[in-house]
Amino acid sequence: MRLLIQLLRRPVVRVAFLALATGAAIYAVVRERAQVGAALHQVSPVVLVAALGASLLYVVLTMLSWRAVMVDLGSRRDLRPLSKVFFVSQIGKYVPGGVWNVVAAAELGADHLIPRRRSLSGMAVTILVSLTTGLSLAALMVAFAPPGSTERYRVVAVAAPLMLVLLAPRVLNRLLGLALRLTGRPPLEHPMTATGIALSSGWAVLAWLVAGTQVWMLAGAVGMPKSASTWGLAVGGYALAWVVGFLVILVPAGLGAREVVLLAVLAGALSSGGVLVTVLLSRVLLTVADLLLAGAAYLANKGPSRSPQVRDASPASLDE
């Protein structure tokens, strides 16, 4: 991790990385252009605009979940610089490897005098919050699953409570402290608090609800009955698909893995063709949302900032 961060400190490498990540995200959309073109004929423009709006809101809510963690760890609440760090770093997830968005967040955060250990810890906590809240919603999805299929999701209902234990402040802070010691970094200036974890989790739950609503709108446009039951299935199904996709780190942004999970979850409520249209358009719209927000944040905050974003940052502390 330290070597990756050192490489990204070089301007040429950073520009090349951002270009590669952006190109990978655009390619993820372009390579599906034929299927997307066919799918667009099945969904009305109104639904597409609403689904894109939900996609943008989902990414913004995810950023607010991360921001709550960063503020709890000692960063100021300034939204503009933090939005650049988060939105621009997120396109790194389209590069295979599973760590590039985390590395990019650490380096971009240093531009705003955020110590790298704080950025790395903040992203790790945010991911843990997303995994835990996502699994919890997926566990609730079992209640909406078609009869006879609940057995396959039982492992989710067991895993969710175990993950919740990791969000207890005492447990979480010990894990962070251990990780920092093992990587030779000093401890965090401020430990995570119950308030910060709860606020981050609240934003994360809202993000999952919005993402599930996006899937529900698209699925409803191609034949899935619109009801509270199918909405709950879409919310829990997308959350479970994201968790599985995150765990499959060898593919960028969970490509393929999320689709397989959503296909399995929605199969009982929608035809196979309708499911394929739904998962395809959902991914494309979320990728477009990532690109739009990254571009907007970059242009709004163009160039590095060395204004003090945290009270105790110093150039020497940024490498810690």
| Cβ count near 20 (within 10 Å) | 15
Q: Report how many domains make up the chain.
A: 1
Percent of the chain with pLDDT over 70: 73
Lookup: tokens for 193? 């608090």
Position 271 scores a pLDDT of: 80
Question: For 301, which DSSP code?
Answer: T
How does pLDDT run across 187-222, given as a tens digit for each residue? Answer: 777 889 999 999 999 999 999 999 999 999 999 988
* Max mean pLDDT range (13-17, 102-106, 122-126, 305-309): 122-126
Is 319 part of a structural domain of the chain?
Answer: no
Position 140 scores a pLDDT of: 81
Identify residue 305 by its one-letter amino acid code: S
Q: Are 113 and 212 in contact (CB under 8 A)?
A: no
Full domain range(s) for residue 112: 2-305
Position 311 scores a pLDDT of: 43
Cα 52 from Cα 79, distance rounded (Å): 22
Alpha-carbon Rg of the chain, whole angstroms?
20
Q: What size, in residues, is the chain?
A: 320
Cα 215 from Cα 282, distance rounded (Å): 6
C-alpha 232, offset from chain centre: 20
How does pLDDT run across 235-277, given as a tens digit for each residue? Answer: 988 898 888 877 765 445 445 677 778 887 887 778 877 888 8
How does pLDDT run across 133-159, given as a tens digit for each residue? Answer: 998 888 887 666 665 555 666 677 777
Is 208 part of a structural domain of the chain?
Answer: yes
* Confidence band for 307, pLDDT divided at 50, 70 and 90: very low
In 3D space, the residue among 278, 273, 242, 236 whose CA is nearest the CA of residue 257 turns out to be 242
Is 317 part of a structural domain of the chain?
Answer: no
Average confidence (pLDDT) over 3-19: 57
Q: Dihedral of the CA atoms 24, 117, 175, 251 (nearest 10)?
A: 10
Of 52-61, 95-104, 205-214, 271-280, the one with minimum mean pLDDT is: 95-104
Q: Are 166 and 173 in contact (CB under 8 A)?
A: no
In 3D space, the residue among 191, 188, 192 whose CA is nearest the CA of residue 320 turns out to be 188
pTM attached to this predicted model: 0.81
Is 286 part of a structural domain of the chain?
Answer: yes
Is 216 part of a structural domain of the chain?
Answer: yes
More confident residue, 314 or 131: 131
Q: Where are the alpha helices (DSSP H) in 31-153?
A: 33-40, 45-72, 79-90, 100-111, 116-141
Identify residue 296 by its one-letter amino acid code: A
Cα 51 from Cα 285, distance rounded (Å): 7
